[in-house]
Structures are given as structure tokens and as C-alpha cells.
Amino acid sequence: MGIDLPLIWAVIILFGVMMYVVMDGFDLGIGLLFPFFPEKADRDVMMNTVAPVWDGNETWLVLGGAGLLAAFPLAYSVVLSALYLPLVLMLIGLVFRGVAFEFRFKARPGRLRLWDKAFAGGSLAATFFQGVTLGAFLNGLPVMNDLYVGTSTAWLASFPLFTGLGLAVAYALLGATWLVMKTEGPLQRRLRALARRLTWALLAVIAVISIWTPMQHPAIAERWFSLPNLFWFAPVPLLVVATTWRLLAALRGNGHAAPFLLTLALVFLGYSGLGISLWPYVIPPSITIWQAAGPPQSLGFTLVGALLIVPLILVYTGWSYWVFRGKVRHGEGYH
């Protein structure tokens, strides 16, 4: 029995995308929270919690994009043809955010607000257009003769725009619970209160998407509600409710790391639900990972590099978080 290279590469890419959502989600979420914390001292603490690690968090985005090009060139060409506008706007947002991150620490007092707005605006643009891209992908990309045959503005529909807003809520909650873990005192108490409201908002987003998706896509509805699939999928919404209940309890109590870990679990459950809905299509609703895969020689050659580089990324990421563990307090700084 031969090695299923497309399946291995699909797992690697899914892992890379999930790691990006986890690692860069709370990073972007901090920018989304800036309007709720106008004081410079609070914003300094918020940014200093991620200053040592934010660059490395985006490594996973590069890995996911490069892996898609190497392993599934058909999917890469179709996705970029269909979604180049939201992807370009997402990248512009990341550029603004990255530049503002560095310049803010060196800005004169009169220019500080400008860079704060650039950081918050870049974070919002990057997050929103990531969500729009996801929603448009879930809606399906029409393909004929291996070419995208839809319009360049098909992503301007109600479902993708809603998923853009929904992802902003998810990232804001990740950012808030990360800061609960990394801060203390009055700032932490305000973040706990904000995180509780964001938890209810995210639960509402998950409920709306869970109802909207099968209503809009009969194939997904059939997969969800047919037997025996229903017995396999039923634990996901039950786990979402249980995790949300534990998250709200942790935010009302004195837990520091628990709210962030439970939010990660909630995001992972949502991600797994999307995976269940789409598998094994890499270009929904018609092209599977095996149909879109590159030549076996290319898959095997690039897999060797991936198996070397992914453990290295995990090691240096884990080491950087370990070195900069602990609370960040007012008056302390990384820069």
C-alpha cells in the first residue's frame, strides 16, 4: 500500500492554517481591542505582551500559502484567481499593522495616535478580509477546465461579509483572553468583563453560521444530518456549549491561563466543524485534494523539506514563548 502524499500534505496545510489562526489570532485581536483602551499606558502593556513573538506568529501563514502552491497548484491558482482582491487587502492590512507596530514605539508624542490608528485599522482589515476569504471559500468556487469561471467580486455577498465580522469577534476574544493571562490589576479586570461579552457574541456567531451554512448548501446539510454521520457530528455542538460554559465560569473566577486555553478549544471546535463540512474538497464543491494534487515527485520532494522545517518552527516558537512567559506590567517594555 503506497503512501497517500496528497492526504499527508492536506494534514500539514490544515495544521499550518490552524496554527496561524491560534498564534496570530490573539495578536490581531489585540489591535481590534485598541479602541476599548484609549490610555497610552494600557496600550503599551497590551503591545508588549506580543512584541517578542508577533513576527514569528506569521510564519504559519507563509507555510500554509507555500504548502498550497507546492502540493495543490490547481487549488492555489483557483483560490488566487477568485479571491485576489480580499487577499491583497488582507496583506495591505498586515503591512500597515506591522509598520505601525514598530513605528509606534519610536513615534513622537504628537504622532502616537496616528500609529495607534494604523495598528488598529490594519488589524481590523487583515482580520475582516481573512474572514471574507473563508466565507467565499465555503460558498464554493466555480471551476471549468481547471480555471476559475466566477466573477472577481463574488466574495461581496452576505455570507462572506458576515464571516469577516464573525472572525473579528473570534480574534478579539482570543486577544482579550491572552491579555487576561498576561496582565494584572485593573486592566485585567476590564479585560475579563469585555471577554465575557465577546464570548456571548462569538457563541451567537457560531450559531448563525451553523444554521446558515446547511441552509445555503444542501450538500453540507445532507452530510450533517444523514445517518450515521449525525452520530459522529453531534458531539461538536455539545462540546461548543460545554466549552463556552466553562469559559464564562473561568472569566468570572480568578483563572489566568484557563480562559485563553478554553478560547483556543472553542476556536478549534469551530475549525473542526468547517473541516467536517468540507472534507475532502480542496476547492468546494467539486474538486478533491487528490484531483488538485501536484505530481507525486513534487509532493515527495517538498515533503522532505516540510518534515524538516515544521519541527524547527515548532521548537523556536515554543522556546520564544517560554523565554517571554509571565506577566507584563505597566512600566515594563520589550522595545
Q: What is the pLDDT of residue 334?
A: 55
Average pLDDT over residues 262-286: 84
> pLDDT band for position 2 (50/70/90)?
low
User: Which pLDDT belongs to residue 195?
Assistant: 94
Residue 234 lies in a domain: no
pLDDT of residue 184: 86
Of 3-17, 53-67, 88-102, 191-205, which one has max mean pLDDT?
A: 191-205
82, pLDDT greater than 70: yes
Q: Tell me, what amino acid is at 185?
A: G
Q: Do the domain assignments include residue 88?
A: yes
- In-domain check, residue 210: no
User: What is d(CA 278, CA 143) in angstroms, rounded to the nearest whole number?
Assistant: 16
pLDDT tens digit sequence for 29-48:
999 999 999 888 888 888 88
Task: Return the C-alpha cell found at 100.
Answer: 505601525
Interatomic CA distance for residues 5 and 7, integer angstroms: 5
User: Bridge partners of 141?
Assistant: none
What pLDDT does 152 receive? 83
Distance between CA atoms of residues 36 and 59, nearest Å: 29
Asked whether residue 54 is assigned to any structural domain, the reply reads yes
Mean pLDDT of the chain, nearest integer:
86
Residue 233 is predicted with a pLDDT of 78
pLDDT mean over 157-166: 92
| pLDDT over 90 (residue 88) | yes
pLDDT surpassing 70 at residue 1: no
> How far lies 184's CA from each of 25, 45, 177, 251, 330, in Å?
21, 10, 12, 13, 9
- 69 Cα distance to chain centroid: 20
* Domain extent at residue 101: 5-190+286-324
- Beta strand residue intervals within the chain, DSSP E: 143-144, 147-148, 281-283, 287-288
In this prediction, residue 333 carries a pLDDT of 60
In angstroms, the Cα distances linking 257 to 46, 95, 183, 201 are 16, 30, 11, 21
Mean predicted confidence (pLDDT) in 81-109: 86
Q: What is the DSSP letter of 288?
A: E
Report which of residues 56 and 136 the model is more confident about. Answer: 136
214 is a domain residue: no
The count of domains in the chain is: 1
Q: Say if 45 falls within a structural domain.
A: yes
Q: 332: pLDDT confidence band, cut at 50, 70 and 90?
A: low
**294 or 32: whose pLDDT is higher?**
32
255 domain residue, yes or no: no
What's the pLDDT score for residue 199? 95
- CB burial of residue 145 (10 Å; 0-12, 13-18, 19+): exposed
Q: Establish if 169 belongs to a structural domain.
A: yes
